[in-house]
């Protein structure tokens, strides 16, 4: 397989992280040389910025600047080199999350986010994005059972409803890239949807 860039998106508690490992196994079985990574994070610098992002209080613009700074280091040091080597990159979140959380959730001007996206990514986009879509109330119940909430996970259902709406708008704007996954289904049901899309693409 030639290098491909696949991202996984959705509100906290949608279950996307559960399925990244299974996608990795599927693609490795098909001959892919894989890099698995996440955002914010993926490099020592970006992981340090992640800790600030998740645990320090800040406004939406500061959040966006912090995440895009982490993303720049991540793209430069990990994503771009891996793709140039023909490796496949699986990333837990990427720029769609910034438009969803800081744009939709925080109400930031999307023109600012678009400018940051251009500076940081220099035209690079994922080849495929799986959007794990689920009702915020279901996601909140899952989070409560799974872990202690971080700063963003503590926000109310209205915030996550706005985030979900922003993801829906992004998906409508890029239907060839962003594939909606019904994340309210069982784990097997979600896996079946992902597998069907990969097979449709011959991956």
Q: How far apart are CA 12 and CA 144, in angstroms?
A: 11
Q: Which tokens sit at 65?
A: 């600047």
Q: How far apart are CA 49 and CA 163, in angstroms?
A: 22
Q: Are strands 88-92 and 5-10 parallel, antiparallel or unpaired?
A: parallel
Q: What CA–CA distances, in Å, run from 99 to 39, 61, 105, 112, 121?
A: 14, 12, 9, 10, 14
Is 174 marked as binding a ligand?
no
**Beta pairing partners, 35:** 89
**Beta pairing partners, 17:** none
Is 16 marked as binding a ligand?
yes
Is 11 marked as binding a ligand?
yes
Q: How far apart are CA 95 and CA 134, in angstroms?
A: 19
CA proximity to 67, closest of 102, 105, 15: 102
Is 202 marked as binding a ligand?
no
Rounded (5°) CA angle 34-134-30? 20
Is 104 marked as binding a ligand?
no
Is 123 marked as binding a ligand?
no
Is 12 marked as binding a ligand?
yes
Q: Are 77 and 125 in contact (CB under 8 A)?
A: no
Burial zone of 70 (CB within 10 Å; 0-12 exposed, 13-18 middle, 19+ buried): buried
Is 161 marked as binding a ligand?
no
**Annotated binding residues, as ranges?**
10-17
**Annotated binding residues for ATP, as ranges?**
10-17
């Amino acid at each position: 397989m030639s290098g491909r860039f696949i991202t996984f998106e959705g509100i906290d508690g949608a279950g996307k992280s559960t399925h990244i490992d299974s996608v990795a196994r599927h693609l490795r079985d098909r001959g892919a040389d894989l890099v698995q990574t996440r955002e914010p994070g993926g490099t020592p610098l970006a992981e340090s910025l992640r800790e600030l992002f998740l645990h320090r209080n800040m406004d939406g613009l500061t959040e966006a600047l912090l995440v895009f700074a982490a993303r720049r280091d991540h793209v430069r040091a990990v994503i771009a080199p891996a793709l140039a080597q023909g490796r496949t990159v699986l990333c837990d979140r990427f720029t769609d999350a910034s438009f969803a959380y800081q744009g939709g959730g925080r109400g930031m001007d999307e023109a600012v986010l678009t400018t940051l996206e251009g500076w940081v990514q220099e035209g690079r986009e994922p080849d495929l994005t799986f959007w794990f879509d689920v009702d915020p109330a279901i996601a909140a119940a899952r989070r409560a059972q799974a872990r202690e909430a971080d700063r963003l996970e503590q926000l109310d259902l209205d915030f996550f409803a706005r985030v979900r709406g922003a993801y829906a708008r992004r998906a409508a704007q890029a239907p060839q890239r962003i594939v909606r996954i019904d994340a309210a289904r069982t784990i097997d049901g979600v896996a079946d949807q992902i597998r069907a899309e990969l097979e449709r693409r011959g991956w």
